[in-house]
Each structure stands twice: as structure tokens, then as C-alpha cells.
Structure 1
Amino acid sequence: MTNNTLGSQTRRLLAVSLLAAGLGGGMPTVQAQTSSTQGYQLPDLGSTSSAVTSGDEYRLGRAWLRQFRARTDQWQDPIAQTYIRSMLARLVPYSGVHEHLIVTLVDSRLLNAFAVPGGVVGVNAGLFASAPVEDEFASVLAHELGHLAQRHYARRMERVEETQLPTMAAMLAGMIIAAGGGGDAGFAAMMGSQAAFMQDQLAYSRRFEQEADRVGLEAMAKAGYDPQAMPEMFRALQKMAALQGGNPPEFLLTHPVTQSRISDTQARADQLTSPPAPADDPAYAMIRARALLMLNPNTPEQAMPQLRQNDPPPAALRYLEALMAADTRPDTALASLDQLASEYPDLSMIPTTAAQVAYDAGRREVALTRARRVLRLSPNYFPAQWIEAEALLQTAPAQAFDVLRDMSSQYPEDPNVFGLLAEAAGRSGHEDWGQLARAEQLQLEGRIDTAIRRLDAAKEAAETSGDYAMASRIEQRRQDFLGYRETMRNF
């Protein structure tokens, strides 16, 4: 690739995020999300910049997320996603972060995690492979929450008085490149070698890294995680960087680990109380098993030795064995999962996994029964809700439509929920709802022009059926979408 091509692609990518920075009131969000963020504020900690407001950060973060989804491959795993949400919910009360967080999982074996202004937290599947215990994984999340709490993105803009928001957008554009493993994988890999560019756009100052470490360590200790896991994780990353030579883990491009930083983190961790050794809880190791299996789609047998390396609880090994047996021996997998569920009745992920195995084996009614059994005990457990919706879509589309409409209110930033709602609406004769739901999915995925065309079709369907209230609602969403597009074009 020539330097001219590199320059044009870089400018094009930066322009995309620069445009997103100016969305203002035209930002396309579903109605439920709009109403829930009117009082949105970020904590004003330390020497923060007031020129970039919390509202700016929120809009920029949501706009960036849509661009990110359009350019990277997502890891669709409701069980893993819900588990990470629970970890964040445990850390957030002690981190100083108050906004509603959105978790996005990236289908990439590269070791990385990131937090974007406005409460977007991203995790590469590869982080599970490099964090053998939950506390080390939690240390990365706690560190990222520290960056959000201290408003480091906004504070980096203090020196740039008139172009703070565009500069922030350009910095976030680099994160799309850094995510790797997505649609522009070759471009991302090539850009990864441009260390000066990446460092200029993404690198935090040493002071900011120390602040995020401090906030993260304190949050870990108060949440019941072992603060000693953070310096331990840093040592592992430093060793990994040494072994990989000129291609260190992605996380280190933006969060460089030095010996002095490890020493400082160790000294702070030594001042905090470590919790007692945890009981033999296999939950994290089970999630890690799911990640390792996903990262080895063509050679699933490699997941087992990788999991065994770190002496996981035996239940996690049995769980992975069941996952590996699911495709060819579903009865064996179900029997094993049922036994595990009886031994660990508080882990909803185990019976929900069994429901998913049954669904994948074509046993829709069995999957539905199993999912509903989980929901009776945990009514808001998203993975079980998802399987219930999938099973109903095959057996009772009208019921699936009702369930998914409720889910779309609960999860207004999840494009997959709207995608499934679109299918349920189409199969149950709600053409206008189907077009509207598909449009919402498309705008959440960053495909605004296609979304607008869908809204045009939805309005026509509503008017044809005589539902003018729906037609009016669709027209309002269309105006929101047009405002989004027009703002981009004006730049």
C-alpha cells in the first residue's frame, strides 16, 4: 500500500469519527434511551476540562459505538456479555462512574479492552485467554473504569481550546483501527505498525495511567477483588510483550507497562486488604472456556489444554467438555450440564447453556421449557430471555413478537434484539413493526442510509394498514435519522 493510499484511508477514517462528533440533538437513539439520559452527568474529579461536556461525551461515545460496530466483528455471546456486565456492576459503585454502561464484545484473539467516553466498555475475546483468573480480568476492567471516572479523554483536550471535540473524535477513530480483527483487518494490521500515529492518538500520559491504576485498585479492594491481581496482570503483560518483541499486545499500545509502574502499583496494592481466598467458584473459568472455544473454531480440541494450563476448577473442565460435545452428542452434553446445574444451582449460565444446546439441536420446545425454568428464578437473565425469544420465534411468532418488544425496551442499545424483533414482526404479520425494528438495528450498526430507506418502507406499510399513530411515530424516527445524516453531510 502506498503512502498516499495510507494517508487517504487515515483521513477517511478520521473524518468518519469527526463527523460523529457533531451529531448533537440529531443523534439516533431509541426513545427509551433518550428519556433515560436527560439528567446525564459525569463526576467532576480532579482537574477536569469543562469545555467538553458530559453531554458531548455521551453523544460522541454512542456515535463512536455505531461506527465501531460497522467496522469490527462482534462476539455474540449473551452469557459472556452478561457475566462482564455483572463484573462491572460489582466495580462501578466504587469507581466513581455514574453513567449507564454498554458492553460490547469483539471477536478478536488480540488482548485488548477499552472504555470510551459516554460509558462504552469494550472487551476482546482474547483478554480471556490472557487472564487466567477472574481478579486479573477484573483488574483490567477496573483500570478502564478509572479512566472514565477521571474523564481522561476530556482532560487530554485541555490544551486544545477550539477543537477539543474533533480532537477527541480523532483519538477515538484510532481506537477503531486498534480494535483489529474486524472488517478492515488488513488495514488495521498495517496501521498497527505505525507506532507514532497510534501513540499520538491514543497514549495516555503517565499521570493518567497512575490515576486509573489508583482508582481501579481501590474499586477492586472495595468490591471484594484482590488488588494484588493488578500488578500481577501487569507483570504478565510485560512478559508477553518481551516474548512478542516488536508486536506487543494491543492493550500495551495505549497502556504502556513499565517497571516503575509495576512497582508503584505493587506498593499501592500492598496498602490495601486482600480478600480471603475464594471458594471453588467455577463461573469465571466457565466463561473463559466459552471464549477459548470461540477463539478456536476450527480446532476446538485446543481449547481444553489451554484451559487446563491454569489449574481451573474441575467443574469448568466438565463444562467445556459439554460444550465440545454439544454439536455431535447433545444428549451427553445435556446430561453433563444438568448434573453441573444440580451441583451449582446459583449459576444460571449452566441451565441456560443447556437450553441453548437443546435449541441448537433442533429441540425448540425443550429449549423453551428450559429457558422459562431459568426465568422463573431469574426473570431478567438476558441469555435465558434470548433463548426464549429464539425458541418462540420458531414455534409461536406472535408470542415472540410480544416478548421481543419488551426486550427492546430493556435493551434499547442492542442491535441483535432489534434484529430478532424484526424477524418476529415479519412472521406474525406486523410489517410496519418489522421495518421499524430493522431500521433501529441498522442505525445501531452505523448503517444510517439503509436505515432511512427501511423507515420509508415502514411508514408506507403503516399507512396502508391504516395505523396512522404508528406512521406518525415512524415519521418522528425518520426525522431523527435525517438529522443525523444531515449533520454528517454538513461537515
Structure 2
Amino acid sequence: MRFRILIPVLALTLSACGFVSNEPTQSSPAKSETPLPNVGDSLDAERAARQFVKVVKTVEPIAEQECRERTSGVNCDFNIVVDDRPNQAPNAFQTLDKSGRPVLAFNIPLIATVKNADELAFVMGHEAAHHIEAHIAKQKRNATAGAVIFGGIAAITGVGDSAVQTAQEVGASLGSRTYSKEFELEADRLGTVITHKAGYDPVRGAAFFTRIADPGDAFLGTHPPNAARIETVRQTAASLN
């Protein structure tokens, strides 16, 4: 297991996934983000750094082991980095670098504001699960299919190139959202397994859902209701005991 914390993180052209958000882009595959509450009671810098390092060293090898056991021909060498760009809300995300290596990034406000190591471990397990479940590739395929369908419909109606392009963009956006809620729940389930195997309490870790805005069950929303996510974690954790 190789452990890396890079500060500052290299510029990443990414979108959103995990607890905050997955959208494919031209310059990089996509990203999965996790938004947490606004900065409130923060840990002191030294304590937060120690907690982060400990959780990374504990969770990373478990995540890589799960990745190897559940996939074939997939890069399971997670690169864990710290995003120290200023003026950001607490957030974490998963993406791929140009070589296809999975990246798990955590910004400093998130590292400082999680309530305990269990929350940080769950966030890490959740983001790693997005990679193991190949959600970036699946979302990209959904976006492509949506663009083709909407663009094709627009084309046969005889509209101009500009209208066809707009239809393709709308289709790609809708396509990328098609299964995003299911992807989040899948990542919550596997993230629970990873958190548990790493020796942390995933139910306690998922308590952060009680401190963030509830997306409800919006038709075009990218995240499921917080209550559904908490229940998914509880049911998965119960099956592991």
C-alpha cells in the first residue's frame, strides 16, 4: 500500500458525485463529490491532520483489497490527495487521472469539520466505492446515450445544427442523471462494507447525513433523500454483524 498526500492538489477538471456528487467532461473522466455541512466547529489543525492520516492508512488498503476482489482489469491503486484550494465548502470527490488511476480527493474544510474518524472513513469508503462500481464509466455511457437520442430526435424534425447541439447537451445532462441516485445508494452500500472492514462504525459515520441539506426525492435530482441513505447504511451494516 502506497500512501500519498499531495498539497496542493493538481488542477483537476471535474464534476460532482458522492456526498456533495458525477458528470463526464472532455478533459477528465468525471468526479464524485461529497458535500458536508458548512464549516462550524472545526478540529484544530494538528488533530485533524493526524485523524486524516490515520484514516487514510487504515481505509486505503481495505478499499484496494475490495477493488481487486470485486473487479478485473481495473486500476485499484488509489491516489489520495488533499485539495487545499481556498474558499471552498467542505467536500470530497472521486475521479480518474489521465492515466486512468483512481483519485480520492478531500479538501481541508471537510477534513477539519467531520465530527469523528467514523465519518471521515465512511466518506472515504463511499468515494472509493464509486470507482469500484465503475460509476464514472456508467454515467458517461448514460450521458452519451442521452445525447444521441435527443440529438437524433431533434435532427429528424428538421431543426438547424444549433438546435441539434442544444438537444444533445440537454440529452447528455438528463442521461447522466438517469441512475445517479442508484449509484449513490450503491456507493453507500459498498462504502459501508469498506468502512466496517477497516474497523470503523459506518452507521456512526453516516450521521453526517443528518447535518446536510436533504435533497428530498426530486425527479431530476442527483442524490437520494438523506433518510434513504441512512437506512441503506443501517441495513447493510446489520447484515455484516
Distance 2:211 2:66 in 1: 24
User: What letter matches 2:81 in structure 1?
Assistant: T
How much has 1:113 moved relative to structure 2?
0.4
Question: 1:271/1:257 Cα in 2 relative to 1: closer, same or farther (>3 Å)?
Answer: same
1:217 matches 2:200: no
User: What letter matches 1:215 in structure 2?
Assistant: L
Q: Deviations over 1:169-203 (max 9, x none)?
A: xxxxxxxxxxxxxxxxxxxxxxxxxxx9xx86976
User: What letter matches 2:186 in structure 1?
Assistant: E
- Within-5 A mapping of 1:273-288: 273=241
Over the aligned positions, Cα root-mean-square deviation in angstroms equals 3.9
Q: Which has the larger Rg?
A: 1
Q: Point out where structure 1 has 5 or more consecutive residues left out of the alignment.
A: 1-12, 22-59, 65-76, 165-195, 246-252, 274-491
Partner of 2:138 in structure 1?
A: 155
Local SS of the residue matching 2:240: coil
User: What letter matches 2:79 in structure 1?
Assistant: I
- Within-5 A mapping of 1:78-227: 82-83=53-54, 85-96=56-67, 98-107=75-84, 108=86, 109-117=88-96, 118-159=101-142, 160=144, 205-227=180-202
Question: 1:270/1:201 Cα in 2 relative to 1: closer, same or farther (>3 Å)?
Answer: same
Report if aligned partners of 1:102, 1:119 keep a CA contact under 8 Å in 2. yes
How much has 1:127 moved relative to structure 2?
1.2
Question: 1:200/1:106 Cα in 2 relative to 1: closer, same or farther (>3 Å)?
Answer: farther
Report if aligned partners of 1:94, 1:222 keep a CA contact under 8 Å in 2. no
Distance 2:126 2:203 in 1: 13
Distance 2:64 2:141 in 1: 28
Local SS of the residue matching 1:228: helix
Partner of 2:35 in structure 1?
A: none
Report if aligned partners of 2:80, 2:105 keep a CA contact under 8 Å in 1. yes
Distance 2:59 2:175 in 1: 26
Q: Point out where structure 2 has 5 or more consecutive residues left out of the alignment.
A: 1-13, 16-24, 32-45, 69-74, 149-169, 216-220
Q: Which runs of 4+ in 1 moved over 6 A?
A: none
Distance 2:194 2:62 in 1: 6
Local SS of the residue matching 2:77: coil
Q: Deviations over 1:27-55 (max 9, x none)?
A: xxxxxxxxxxxxxxxxxxxxxxxxxxxxx
Local SS of the residue matching 1:218: helix
User: What letter matches 2:231 in structure 1?
Assistant: S
Partner of 2:207 in structure 1?
A: 232
Distance 2:117 2:236 in 1: 20
Question: 1:92/1:208 Cα in 2 relative to 1: closer, same or farther (>3 Å)?
Answer: same
Local SS of the residue matching 1:100: coil
How much has 1:225 moved relative to structure 2?
1.3
Higher relative CO (CA 8 A, sep ≥ 6), structure 1 or 2?
2
Distance 1:154 1:217 in 2: 22
**TM-score, structure 1 as length reference:** 0.28
Distance 2:175 2:104 in 1: 19
Question: 1:162/1:268 Cα in 2 relative to 1: closer, same or farther (>3 Å)?
Answer: closer
User: What letter matches 2:203 in structure 1?
Assistant: Q
**TM-score, structure 2 as length reference:** 0.53
1:258 matches 2:226: yes
- Within-5 A mapping of 1:395-434: none
2:240 corresponds to which of 254, 260, 272: 272
User: What letter matches 2:197 in structure 1?
Assistant: K
Report if aligned partners of 1:115, 1:144 keep a CA contact under 8 Å in 2. yes
Query: Greater helix percent: which structure?
Result: 1
User: What letter matches 1:271 in structure 2?
Assistant: S
Q: Deviations over 1:65-92 (max 9, x none)?
A: xxxxxxxxxxxx9x66754541442432
- What is the aligned length? 161
